[in-house]
Structure 1
Amino acid sequence: MLELDAPASYSTIPYQRNHGFYGREDQLRELNEAFQDQSSSPEIRTVALWGAGGIGKSQVALEYAHQRCNSGTSVVLWISSETEGEVAKSIREAAEKLQLDGYSETNTQEKNRHLVLQWLQTTTLTILETKWLIIFDNVEDDRVLIDNQPKVGQGDVLITCRSKPLAESLAMFPIEVTKFSIDESTALIFQILNRPAANTEEIQAADALAEQLGGLALAIDIITKNIKTSRRFNSIAEFLPFYEQNRRALGKRHRRGIRDITYSKDLDTVWETAFATIDSNINPNANPDAVRLMDVLCFLAPEAIPQWLFQGNEENIPEHWQFLTDDERFEKAKLELLDLSLIKINVETGLISIHRLVQQAYFDQMTAEARLSAFHVICALLRKAFPDREGETHLFKRWAICEQLHQHVQALCKVYAWMKDNELAPRSSTYQTPIRDDIWYMLELQQFIGAESLIKSLLLDIDTDSLERARMNRILMGLFERTGRSVRALECAKIEFDIFVSLDGPEENDLANAYSDIALDYLNKATDIALSHPEPGCYRAFNIDRFLRNRGRTKMQLKDFDGALDDFAKAEYYQAKVHGEDSHYDGETKHERAKIAALQMKLEEAATLNDEAMRLVREGKPTHASVSASHYRQGCVRLLAGKYDDALQELHKAHAICQLNEPTRGNAGESARVMWRMAQIYEHDGKVDEARTFLDVAEKIRNDLLATGDYAQVEDVEDSWDCLVGLLYR
């Protein structure tokens, strides 16, 4: 047996030192501190690096192993531990490298294991700084450690594994290897390319690539080396579209030139290993519930997945998905994926996350049947979880729930589009319902551009004479109205109206809503339908308060102020029944009352009502268009009262909110109206240049919008500016 009297190097590290190794200072520091820890005095200290496949655990271990070799550790043994065959091969190499007495090429695996363990457990090192280090890389099964780890001796044991519970059970010091941040990923990309960031465009392209690769070290290494070795792309920006179209093929290591001498695996190999444990074709003991949980996770956004989303019920979940209704089975499936580091769970929030590349890779290998099954289930789960607007006309009080689910509904839309392009997407009302409710949430958040695009894509798959098409056109009408496009809004209202009127027996509330969206005579009919039902049916089954507010607004436009105020009073009565006192809708009616008071030159009353309206509509949404409208109207009241400084202050506040909302609103109509008013004040104050500048910008915006044909064109000057703004925000 070998005795070490002086430092000597005996190493079975399979890879050269990676001179392009990047970052990981925290993990290397933790490794050093853990192996030098003096809080206890075991003969062997065990540390485990854990994290998802491809995250960079082996590279950290490789760097640490070479550092230990360079700092005087005499023996460093590397045991590849994914399979029994790899373990046997690594132990044979260790026995051969150490020149152990009794070693022979004909030895059995057990004989070599006995020789190596005996040496590790009995060898006395005369220079303590040279104690041995053994690394068990990619441990999938704790039996590898039970059978092959020395129990005593003067050395250290480093383990790499995917499973956090495995790391915690095997090691005194478990250390997580986390994904790189965007900044770290971008810096690594440029380091691999061996060139500095050329310009802002190239940095932005690198950031975009880094985001798609999700901070996964192996993916960054492989994909960036594809750029480096290719003669086709002169920049990352040129490469990005190619990657998006060919991401799966690019996950393999480049076969041209010298093979990678610091790590041999590619992404396909990592995914095969990661998914093998839950694949019943490979593992007869695989848990089918864990497979199906992975299936549905592929249809959601990869981050911040609420566990309560998976609380299904027997009515909306097929039989082979019933584990979602059984807490114990769901916990087992979740913990299995957690053990394999296929998912993570935030200990503070309980939210599930899955790495985007793991998600993509798993989705790629799913069968068409599995995709369709998971699609139907996640549609049902989202439909059940996402707040609907049954009996209400807004989601504001439930925005917190909507916010948790919004990104997941949007992710489902993207997967659905892919499935449709690949002739896999079913026609499903369960899909349309959560999308429709999420679109309404987007309208409340004023994300009009995204909502409009989504609505138009959905309409392509909806029958032209169906109830769903009528309902979707009602939402599109609301979007057009809120952005001032009243001509387009009326077109949608007519489509909705024609469908509901033509169909036998549509729900009365649908029909009443269709009447409410057309004109005054039909508004009367909508109100009559609702009021034909005694309380509480008239306000629980119908949007009677909305019908009355709409009719009141129309009467106000026709200068029937008494009729309008009467409708607003009735609306307030029903608002309190449905939404409680001091709701957002009370703010709406006070806003309308303030407009009437201003038109009647009751300026103090108008100012008071505007203040009350602003207080109610800004609660929880200080940058909403209704808030900017209240500031605008207050500015107009102050202007009528000759308080020009106060008016300008209110208009500045309105303008700031309008500008903030323009990127998602899609036009600057609200800003133009405010600037027109500001120009009037500047002109009054003798600031001719400022007045001219503001008016020129405002008139250009108005003329450009009117040229689209989407906006009402009227003779009255003030009305011509109001027509650029939705009726709700005038």
Structure 2
Amino acid sequence: MEWADFLANEATTHKLSSAQREAFVERLKVENLEKSELNLATKIGISEDAFTKRMNAVYKKFAMSYPELDRIKGRGQLEELRACLTSKYHGGQDAQLTIKEIHHNIPPAVPFEKFVGRETELEELHQQLQTSRQVAIVAVTGMGGVGKTELAIQYAKQHLQNYQGGVCWLSAQGIDIRIQILRFFELKFNTIVPDDRELADRLTYCWQNWQKGEVLLVFDNVTDYKKQVQHNLPPESPRFKALLTTREKFDRTLSQLCLGVLKPLAAMKLLKSLVDRERLKSEPWVARKICRDLGYLPLALELVGRYLDTMPDLSLEKLLKRLEKKRLEHEAIAKANPLMRYEYGVAEAIALSWEQLDEKAQGLGCWLSLYALADIRFSVEWIQDDDEQELWEKAIAKLRKLHLIQWQSKGIYRLHPLIRKFFQMKLDESSNADKLKTIFAALMLEVAKDIPPQLNREDILNFTPFIPHLGEVGTHLSQYLSDEDLVGLFRGLGWFYYGQGLYQQAEPWYKLCKDIAENAFGLEHLYVAASLNNLAELYRYTGRYDEAEPLYQQALELTKRLLGDDHPNVATSLNNLALLYESTGRYSEAEALYQQALELYKRLLGDNHPDVATSLNNLALLYESTGRYNQAEPLYQQALELYKSLLGDNHLLVANSLDNIAGLYKSTERYGEAEPMYQQALELKKRLLGDNHPDVATSLNNLAELYSSTKRYNEAEPLYQQALELKKRFVGDNHPDVAAILNNLAVLYSSTGRYDKAEAMYQQALAICEQTLGIGHPNTIGVRGNYARFLRKPYR
């Protein structure tokens, strides 16, 4: 037996944890004896202190067998432990049956240090095998290439001492299992089985005369349990254990250990064991993306690692691009490596399961491959014919049984990235690929059409599961939709992200919408005007005013040319441009546009319309910003009454209106009237939008301002902090809204004597305002004035 295998066995005997085992094996390797603990700790990716703690725990456990270890400290412990283990390895301890006397035919294993990420599964497997008093059938199941056979090999080698009766490895895909058992018995136990009996009787003879001690029978790569396993098990006896590896999923009557892919860190560790570490360190994000794109599948990772090792000048980024282009057909993963025991490439491994599917199940796999790599909602309840529905249910069951789809919860499934690519390849080879893709794109488009421009919490919950799949259509299946449909798809995706304050995710869809509209319909089209307006709105909300203004102006001019001056869309464009002017402190220009928009809305839509209410509200906001409170208040009240009568009490526009009126009351020091309205607005926004939304941050800031104005600083501060965190999350650190909250916090800190904090906040707020709004903007002037007054305080 090799020294490394001996160490692994000793680790099991002394019940070392997986972390202790790793440190112990690394420390006791012959080539590492002169290396420092820091060097070894770095090698396995932990700190020196952590490595030392692990080894101290190892010495304590081995001290039960070698008491002299307790009397030695420091480097002497290592030398003493190695001396004891070396003596045992060479036969110095003969009180128990030595490893060399345990008969087995276990296939060669990969080096222990390259077997990563399966420590928990090894322990669980041993626990399951040892707890059964009957023949324990433990199935290690999972998709092809996940490492079922290697796990069984590592388990058998590391726990060899537990099976004094031997470990008999049986290939379910080889010659008759019974013949394999007979050959093992005769060869290992040097006993001839009488050949004048039937085969079944000869097998019984083997079981009756098997060497004493617990026995492990490993049935590798089982495809037919009844034929390959059930009829070849020994009579019921607690000493015989059976371990199966199979792609299939059995029912709950058999104890099973389902083996998944590796965790991300373990996947990187496997890659590091095959590829030069410095090479991976030079392109760390690419290495992580390769692991992710390969779905953390051990087979794929090992194939890619070995391929990279033979191509020392190939950059990881270039390989990644080739893998993305050629998918499973790239030679890095297409063919088995001759140095590996596994005889298949990734596609070949998946094909073994694919070939077991009937036509219905194969068709379902191809359909599911059209979805993005995310949770897939798939139900057969819409099928009216009960027989047809049952056929689809069986197809799902077959895919699940072979681990080709992953069941997440009722009606929710996922595909592994490489299985998805395999299914896509099979779909592209079929004659009806274009038909299926057209149907799928059309179904997703119908979902996109239902996304409203303003989302509430229920909308977000309902549409979120579909968004990755809409994005998949927009990115990879756009050729199966008309240009007009693409505009609708991109607009819906933009609205979904914009409505939650996820502006970075919304922007690319809005840009695509604009580009498609311009290229498909020319520059003189209403789709172009609408897309210009949407993009301008996003820029305004994110403080990119210089980019927003020309888009607003183009949208207004285009709308007028196409629809004439008297149209509600023109009023909307006037209103939007006015909002921008107000945001940049150009109040006189904004007021003129607001009044034009209000007049148009009333003339075209009548006095009782939500757009009229919005126009009244915006004009009132401007009056408040310029100190004309008496003119603002009646407009606010009209807007609120209109919203409630037209939209009901539970609407986001009602919440915004309540916020605005409360702001006016605060500005006029009517604090008692302002507070309940602020609280109503905050509660309503949370109910409609959830706790994490930029509009909720605005309400938190408003209520905090009220508390600060009434010297309730302990109530104000946590609200400011929540608002600041939320705003930064959605609009980034450099935004006027962030500056406003920083300014408010500075005022609070100054009022409570925390002058260092106040000064830092003022400086940050002023820097943001000057950068985003300019030195002459009213908000910048206001922050600068607050900071100047703060600096003049004599007691500061």
Aligned to 2:359: 286
TM-aligned CA distance change 1:54 to 1:631, over 3 Å: same
Alpha-carbon distance in structure 2 between the residues aligned to 1:720 and 1:473 = 33
The answer to whether the 8 A contact 1:623-1:657 is kept is no
Deviation by residue 1:94-150 (Cα, 9 ceiling, x = unmatched): 7766679xxxxxxxxxxx9x98665434422243426562514152x5575389745
- Identity between Structure 1 and Structure 2 (%): 16
Find 2:307's aligned residue among 226, 237, 258.
226
The answer to whether the 8 A contact 1:223-1:251 is kept is yes
Matches within 5 A, 1:256-267: 259-267=338-346
The answer to whether the 8 A contact 1:299-1:415 is kept is no
Aligned to 2:61: none
Structure ranking higher in helix proportion: 2
Aligned to 2:138: 47
The secondary structure found in structure 2 opposite 1:168 is coil
Find 1:163's aligned residue among 239, 242, 248.
248
TM-fit CA distance, 1:370? 5.6
Aligned to 1:127: 211
Which moved further from structure 2: 502-511 or 477-486? 502-511
**TM-score between the two structures when normalised by the length of structure 1:** 0.74
Aligned to 2:682: 614
Find 2:599's aligned residue among 518, 524, 527.
524
Alpha-carbon distance in structure 1 between the residues aligned to 2:390 and 2:218 = 39
The secondary structure found in structure 2 opposite 1:52 is coil
Find 1:573's aligned residue among 641, 655, 678.
641
Aligned to 1:361: 422
The answer to whether the 8 A contact 2:405-2:416 is kept is yes
The answer to whether the 8 A contact 1:376-1:430 is kept is no
Deviation by residue 1:556-605 (Cα, 9 ceiling, x = unmatched): 55766566444433433343355532543322112211233344454443
CA RMSD for the aligned pairs? 4.6
Find 1:307's aligned residue among 372, 378, 381.
378
The answer to whether the 8 A contact 2:167-2:215 is kept is yes
Alpha-carbon distance in structure 1 between the residues aligned to 2:230 and 2:756 = 86
Alpha-carbon distance in structure 1 between the residues aligned to 2:283 and 2:473 = 31
Aligned to 1:726: none
Is 1:188 the counterpart of 2:270? The answer is yes
TM-fit CA distance, 1:48? 2.0
Alpha-carbon distance in structure 1 between the residues aligned to 2:202 and 2:153 = 23
TM-aligned CA distance change 1:46 to 1:632, over 3 Å: closer
The answer to whether the 8 A contact 1:565-1:593 is kept is yes
Deviation by residue 1:224-275 (Cα, 9 ceiling, x = unmatched): 33344442269x799767766676426427888xx33443322122122233
**Partner AA of 1:185 in structure 2:** A
Aligned to 1:268: 347
Matches within 5 A, 1:428-577: 428-462=483-517, 463=520, 464-503=523-562, 513-514=572-573, 516-518=575-577, 519-520=593-594, 521-531=596-606, 545-554=613-622, 556=624, 561=629, 564-577=632-645
Alpha-carbon distance in structure 1 between the residues aligned to 2:150 and 2:749 = 66
Aligned to 1:3: none
Matches within 5 A, 1:90-101: none
The answer to whether the 8 A contact 2:663-2:674 is kept is yes
Find 1:671's aligned residue among 726, 734, 738.
738
TM-fit CA distance, 1:405? 2.7
TM-aligned CA distance change 1:624 to 1:184, over 3 Å: same
Is 1:339 the counterpart of 2:383? The answer is no
**Partner AA of 1:450 in structure 2:** Q
TM-aligned CA distance change 1:631 to 1:339, over 3 Å: closer
Aligned to 1:298: 369
Aligned to 1:401: 462
The answer to whether the 8 A contact 2:769-2:779 is kept is no
TM-fit CA distance, 1:693? 3.7
Alpha-carbon distance in structure 1 between the residues aligned to 2:172 and 2:753 = 82
TM-aligned CA distance change 1:120 to 1:36, over 3 Å: farther
The answer to whether the 8 A contact 1:49-1:160 is kept is yes
**Partner AA of 2:720 in structure 1:** A
TM-fit CA distance, 1:64? 3.6
Alpha-carbon distance in structure 2 between the residues aligned to 1:471 and 1:661 = 27
Alpha-carbon distance in structure 1 between the residues aligned to 2:749 and 2:183 = 91
Which moved further from structure 2: 18-27 or 53-62? 18-27
The secondary structure found in structure 1 opposite 2:682 is helix
For these two proteins, the number of residue pairs brought into alignment is 649
The secondary structure found in structure 1 opposite 2:403 is coil
Alpha-carbon distance in structure 2 between the residues aligned to 1:528 and 1:487 = 32
TM-aligned CA distance change 1:493 to 1:240, over 3 Å: same
**Partner AA of 2:262 in structure 1:** F
TM-aligned CA distance change 1:8 to 1:120, over 3 Å: farther
Alpha-carbon distance in structure 1 between the residues aligned to 2:386 and 2:623 = 53
Alpha-carbon distance in structure 1 between the residues aligned to 2:563 and 2:726 = 45
- Higher Rg of the two aligned structures: 2
Alpha-carbon distance in structure 2 between the residues aligned to 1:362 and 1:674 = 51
Find 1:584's aligned residue among 646, 652, 668.
652
The answer to whether the 8 A contact 2:222-2:228 is kept is no
The answer to whether the 8 A contact 1:77-1:135 is kept is yes
Alpha-carbon distance in structure 2 between the residues aligned to 1:221 and 1:75 = 27
The answer to whether the 8 A contact 1:675-1:695 is kept is yes
Deviation by residue 1:458-478 (Cα, 9 ceiling, x = unmatched): 332223444443433333233
Aligned to 1:696: 763
Aligned to 2:14: none
**TM-score between the two structures when normalised by the length of structure 2:** 0.68
